[in-house]
Chains A and B, each alone.
Chain A
Amino acid sequence: MSIETLIAAVLTLAIFSFLYKENPFYRAAEHLLVGVSVGYYLVILVEETIWSKVARPLAYDQNWIVIIPAVLGLMMFLRLSRNRAYLTRIPLALLIGAGAGVSIPAMLWARVLKQMSASMLPLYTVSGMIVLVGVITTIIYFYFSREQEGWFGYLAKTGTYFLMVFFGATFGYTVMSRVTLLIGRMEFLLTDFLGVVG
C-alpha cells in the first residue's frame, strides 16, 4: 500500500467518524481541510490573477494602468483597520456598480428572454404545453401583489404542484449525487485501502 493511499484512507476514516459523534479525529481533519483549502486557493488566486493580471503586465509590458485596480485592491486590506475601514467602500462601489451594470443585460438575456423563448417553442406537443403552463403558474405563485384567491388562486395552487415536482426532482438528484460520492469513498476504502473487494 502506498503512502498516498494510507494518508487518504486515514483522513477519510477520520471524517466518517463524525457519523458516530463529533470527536477529536473529525475536528482535526476538518481544521486541516480548511487550512489546506485556503492555502490552495490562495496560491491559485495569486498565480492566476495577481501574477498574470497585475505583476506580469507591470514588470514585462509596462502597463501602468493596472496600478489603479491594484491600489483599489490593496485598499480592501483597510477592512482590517478600525479607523480606515470606510475607505474599502470605494473599491467595493466599483466592484458592485460595474457588476450590477454587467449583470442587467446578461440576466435579461439568459434568465428572462432565453427562458421565455425556450418555454414557448414546442407548443404542439403535450409536454410543450405542460412546460408553458408550468412556467406561467410558477410565476403566478410568486406574484404577491394580488390576493391569491378565485381563478388566480387556482393558478397559483397549480404552480405549487409544479414547484413540488421541481423540489422533489432536485432532492432526488442531490441524494443520488451524494450517494455516488459515498460509493466512491467506500470503494476506495474497500478496494485500495483494505483490498477486500476487486
Chain B
Amino acid sequence: MKTRLPIAICFIFGIFTLLQYFSKHPTLTAMYAEILDWMQIIFVFTLLVGVITIFKIHSGKISRKESNWPYSILTVLGIVVMAGLGFGYGTDYGSPFLWIFQNIQVPMQSTMFALLAFFVASAAYRGFRFRNKEAAVLLITAIIVMLGRVPLGHQISDLIPQTAEWIIDNPSTAAKRGILIGIGLGSITTALRVILGIERSYLGGRS
C-alpha cells in the first residue's frame, strides 16, 4: 500500500496528462487545466515545507544556543519581518514589504552575484591553461566572446565583436542544440520510466 498506491496515482495522472495532448475534447482540456492548477498548489505546499524546515533549523539553533546562533536570529528575523509586513500591510507599491525587498534584498542579491566575478576570474586564472587543443579552443573562444562584449574589443578591431557574434550564433548554438536534443531525449525516457513505475526514486529509500 505504501508504494503501490503512489505508483498507481503516478501512472494514472501521467498517462492522462500525456494522452490528453492528443485530444482537443473540451472536458479533457478542462480536466487538464485543473490538474495543472493542482500541481501548482501542491508544489507551493512543498516549498512551504522547506520554509518551515529553515525556520525550525534556525529557531532550534537559537534555543539550543548552538555555535554561531546569533546569526540565526537574523535569518529568523528576516522571515518573520517579511512575512509579517507582507501579510499585514500588503505587497503593493510603497508598502514596507516592497521597501525591504528593494533596499535590502535586491542590493544584497546583486552583490552576491557580483562577488562571483572575482571567483570566476580566479578559477579561470588557475584553470585556463594551453594544455591541449581542446583547452586552447575553449580559452580562445572565451577570450573572443569576452572582448567582443566590451568597448575594448571594438577599439582593437571590429572583427572581434563580429567573430564573437558568429561564434555564439553558429558553432556554440550547434553544440547547445546537440546538448538540448540529448537532454530532451533523456527527459522523455526518464518521464516514461517514471510513469510506468520503473523509476521509483521519488518514493525514497524505504518502501
Contacts and interface: CB of A to CB of B under 8 A. Distances in A.
Nearest to B84: A39
Interface in A10-68: 11-12, 15-16, 18-19, 27-47, 49-50, 53-54, 65-66, 68
A181 interface: yes
Contact of B191 (A104, A171, A174): A104
A160 B174 CA distance: 12
Contacts of B80: 39
Interface string A83-124: 000100111111111111111110110111001101100000
Most buried by B among A111, A130, A139, A167: A111
Contact of B108 (A32, A47, A101): A32
A82 to B, nearest CB: 12
A108 B40 CA distance: 22
Interface residues of A, number: 111
Interface residues of B, number: 127
Contacts of B203: 89, 92-93
**Which applies to chain A's interface (DSSP): helix, strand, loop or mixed?**
helix
B159 interface: no
A198 interface: no
Contacts of B11: 97
Given A94-B10, A98-B14, A178-B116, A69 B38 contact: yes
A174 B202 contact: no
B41 A66 contact: yes
B175 A165 contact: yes
Contacts of B143: 172
Contacts of A65: 34
Contacts of B184: 107-108, 110-112, 115
B144 interface: yes
Contact of B78 (A36, A107, A112): A36
A35 B110 contact: no
B124 A164 contact: no
Contact of A38 (B36, B41, B51): B51
Most buried by B among A47, A115, A165: A165
Nearest to B121: A175
Contact of A101 (B15, B37, B177): B15
Contacts of B156: none
- The 7 nearest A-B residue pairs measured at CB: A35-B78, A134-B174, A39-B82, A138-B178, A111-B184, A168-B141, A172-B145
5 contacts: A42-B79, A69-B37, A76-B45, A93-B9, A101-B18
Interface of B: 2-3, 5-7, 9-21, 34-49, 51-56, 58, 68, 71-72, 74-83, 86-87, 91, 97, 99-105, 107-118, 120-121, 124, 133-135, 137-146, 149-150, 164, 166-185, 187-188, 190-192, 194-195, 202-204, 206
Given A38-B79, A115-B177, 16 more contacts: A11-B111, A19-B115, A39-B78, A42-B82, A43-B91, A44-B91, A76-B49, A93-B6, A97-B17, A98-B35, A107-B187, A108-B184, A112-B184, A119-B174, A137-B178, A162-B174
